[in-house]
Structure 1
Amino acid sequence: MREVISIHLGQCGVQCGNACWELYCLEHGIQPDGQMPSDKTIGGGDDAFNTFFSETGSGKHVPRTVFVDLEPTVIDEVRTGTYRQLYHPEQLISGKEDAANN
């Protein structure tokens, strides 16, 4: 099986990436907390799904992605947004200070 890790860099990358993962979740029936409704099942050999998501022992589906930005405000939007429970905190990497006009 092949796995894809998406890396989203900067303000545009983080905002576009967050929108893409929201769409992926809607397409695969994953709730904003990473859980799949009990009436939905994933086929055992659904490589397309497993390529982009990993499943934890508790049944939560986590995107194979990393968000990186020097400015914390954009990453904070992801941390506090609708899909905040979808991502592991280690996937959201931000700097400590505003990087504007550098």
Structure 2
Amino acid sequence: YPRKPFESIEAARAWVYEFVTWYNNEHRHSAIKYVTPAQRHAGLDSELLRQRKAVYEAAKAAHPQRWSGPTRDWERTDEVWLNPPKELCTEKPSLAKAA
């Protein structure tokens, strides 16, 4: 994010436009299994995730010694919440977790 105030409303709009374009088209979100929001909204995520799962399974089959457990979960996440309702939150994050 910018460290200084914008010089003009036009400068602010230009910055927001670039940020939103990057966020929607390039940034891969962990909550939606590392696809972009644009891919998700276009319905491309299911096929991308299917392909990723196949790649991981092939890698594990070819080199099982490199894997200590299952491959990453590439199943599509149906719902993603920015601010989930309290009743959906089963556990509050702890600030005292050990590293």
TM-score in terms of structure 2 length:
0.28
- The structure where strand makes up a greater share of residues is 1
**Whose Rg is larger?**
2
TM-score in terms of structure 1 length:
0.28
- The structure where helix makes up a greater share of residues is 2
